[in-house]
Amino acid sequence: MTKREWIHAIIKGEKDVPIAQHWMGFFNSETARDLTPEYCHYDKMWWYDVSDEFDSSAMGADQLDKMITFNNYTGRCFSCLGKGANISFGHGGPGEFFVRIKERIENGFITEFETGVLAKIQFHPHFYHSYDHPVKTLDDLNKLELPDAADPNRYKGFAEDAQYLRSKGEYVVGSLNGFFSAMHYFLMDYQEVLISLLTDPDLIHAMMERLGEWNLVAAENMIKAGADCITFCDDLGSKEALLMSPLHYKKFVKPWHKKLCDKAHEMGATVHLHSHGANREILDDLAECGFDFINPFDPEENWDIEQVLKEYAQKFVVVGGFPTKFWYWPADQQEAYMSQMAVLARKYKRFIFMDSGGVPEDVTREDYERLTKVSRGLRGVANVPGCV
């Protein structure tokens, strides 16, 4: 069984299929390298392992083979394609605005995105701050030039790599800008976005229109290039509540979510939404959009994972179910919880293990390898070729 066959079997809800897993990411590339053997390390592992120029070139067979080996070692079922995309789920590659290093500083660097947004990244201790967003008014937005989402050169390297991964039986995932999240990632300060939802709906509509049309073109090009699935990050809630009213979601964001799902399905691809938060009030809306996978359903964000599976596993593949603090639990608590999740996965079938925030930098290699071994045993993949 290839990974593509495995994922398709899970989508169909077939019986007696091994349980799949995909840890969301790693704190940074240093963490990923510390927790895995050198033979599966590849270039541009992390979202910010970037060059001084925007780069759309192919990774190439040698690096992709190492990426596959890395995924097999860590038990990850999706091959997220694009330089820096594979260990930071939902980020990286030509469907998201490219990033480059603008300035190297002590203990970090300053990065620049294609929209002009800058971000300061500090390593020890970790610190991230984005600034110089280009949009404050509708006039700013009208003056802003976005990169050409239809430029074939943007996807040339992606296409080469996607075809290679598919030839190896991998399930290829291409990352896309979010819709709501992309406004504050790439265009406008976060607080100003939230304020403008109430005070300047015309500006929000206009930003969504620019980003939405760009995203649809990028998604179409990635699917044509060989992506099996389009994923993106659109965090819509905090731990306590939505970041906008359900009415605002339906007015500004839902139409674009549905357009993306419709476009992908027309082309034979799937769509995977990552959205943190207590989003229960709009879960029916998300299901109506047609998402094939939704994550992470963090119990610390007021989700009852069994209730979600009971109500929604027939509507989409439920991905997640692991709390953010899972990595800090005692070993016996971690293993007991994984066992409970395996019982649910066998009962409801359309369920993939995923944590809620990635592997922290202070997890030891001994603990990581223990969890990997326990997970493989509980998920029933040890003796099934192609399943990891």
Q: Edge to edge, what strands does the sheet with 172-176 contain?
A: 20-21, 351-354, 317-321, 293-295, 270-274, 229-233, 172-176, 79-81
Helix, strand or coil, per DSSP, at residue 7: helix
Q: Which residue has the tokens 């953010």?
A: 324
With contact defined as beta carbons under 8 Å apart, do 208 and 188 qualify? no
- Measured N-to-C along each axis, helices 331-348 and 365-379 cross at an angle, to the nearest 10 degrees, of 30
CA dist list (Å): 81 to 226, 257, 270, 352: 10, 21, 15, 19
Give residue 27's pLDDT: 86
Give residue 275's pLDDT: 98
CA dist list (Å): 279 to 45, 245, 272, 303, 348: 31, 10, 16, 9, 21
User: Rounded to an integer, what distance in angstroms lies between the CA atom of residue 352 and that of residue 228?
Assistant: 17
CA dist list (Å): 106 to 50, 121, 316: 17, 10, 45
pLDDT average per 10 residues of sequence, the chain (388 residues): 97 96 91 95 85 93 97 96 90 95 91 96 85 97 97 97 98 97 97 97 98 98 98 96 97 98 98 97 98 97 97 98 96 98 97 95 95 96 91
Helix (H) or strand (E) holding 139: helix 138-143
Helix, strand or coil, per DSSP, at residue 352: strand
CA dist list (Å): 43 to 38, 109, 173, 238: 12, 18, 18, 34
CATH 3.20.20.210 fits 3-101+135-379, yes or no: yes
Give residue 44's pLDDT: 87
With contact defined as beta carbons under 8 Å apart, do 353 and 379 qualify? yes
CA dist list (Å): 172 to 79, 126, 255, 269, 317: 5, 30, 26, 10, 17
Q: Domain-by-domain residue ranges, the chain?
A: 3-101+135-379
